[in-house]
Amino acid sequence: MRISVLAWCCVFTFGGVVWGQDAPLKVAEATAKEAALEKVAPEYPTIARQLKLSGKVEVEALIDLKGKVVKVEIVRGNPVLGIAAAAAMKKWTFTPFVVDGKTRRALTTITFNFML
């Protein structure tokens, strides 16, 4: 029984804290764009142009304490365009996010528009 309780404690969070680590700060897209030092535009994939694919792609980015994007996931949109959006997002840099004098990791969603 003790092992299962310990496993349960390792999986679930309590008040946004997992074993002493702060959960990332959720940042609105507009706020994140204002904090962006470098915004790299995605390259339109050749195959997407040939297939005349267009539309919006949303990606979720995890930003570390130094303002570097460390993880990107495609949330919504065409996968071919999503790969290009994710690759561009990984090159973005941000001013670190600070709350109450403490630098925080941040999580934001950015939308890219691919139009022909």
> Sign of the CA dihedral 61, 35, 31, 91?
negative
Mean pLDDT over residues 9-18, rounded?
43
Q: What is the pLDDT of residues 81-98, one digit of tens each?
A: 999 999 999 999 999 999
21 vs 5, which has greater pLDDT?
21
Residue ranges of domains in the chain, CATH in brackets: 21-114 (3.30.2420.10)
The tokens describing 107, both together, are 């999580």
At residue 8, the pLDDT reads 41
The tokens describing 108, both together, are 């934001």
Q: Count other Cβ atoms within 10 Å, centred on residue 33.
A: 14
Average of per-residue pLDDT values in the chain:
88
Please give the model's pTM, rounded to 2 decimal places.
0.80
At residue 21, the pLDDT reads 59
Give the type of residue at 103. Answer: T
Q: What is the pLDDT of residues 39-68, one digit of tens each?
A: 999 999 999 999 999 999 999 999 999 999
